[in-house]
Amino acid sequence: MNAVAQWLINAPVWIQTPLLLLVLVPVCAVAALVLVRVVDLLVPADDEERRVIGSGAADGPSADDGRGPERAERNVTS
């Protein structure tokens, strides 16, 4: 293992750069996914955000029924 580490340290930059990117991009993607999930748990989306992004059905007058936000909020029937 020490020989591999020494070879990597002494390798030219054109070899180190792609190897670094191959490791760091997946690590950062996993870290970002974890952070997004933590924020989603700590700060849940409200009804308006659920309506806009379409994640789950929002019950009640704020649900998107195609009438527009003003009519939906007042629960006006056509």
Domain count within the chain: 1
pLDDT, greater one: 57 or 14: 14
pLDDT of residue 37: 93
Q: Is residue 8 part of a domain?
A: no
Give the pLDDT of residue 22.
97
Report if residue 66 sits inside a domain: yes
Domain assignment of residue 40, yes or no:
yes
Q: How far is CA 61 from CA 51, 52, 67, in A?
A: 11, 14, 11
Higher pLDDT residue, 63 or 4?
Answer: 4
Question: What pLDDT band is residue 51 in, cutting at 50, 70 and 90?
Answer: confident
Q: How many Cβ atoms sit within 10 Å of the Cβ of residue 27?
A: 9
Cα separation, 40 vs 3, whole angstroms: 43
Q: How far is CA 17 from CA 8, 14, 21, 25, 71, in A?
A: 11, 6, 6, 12, 56
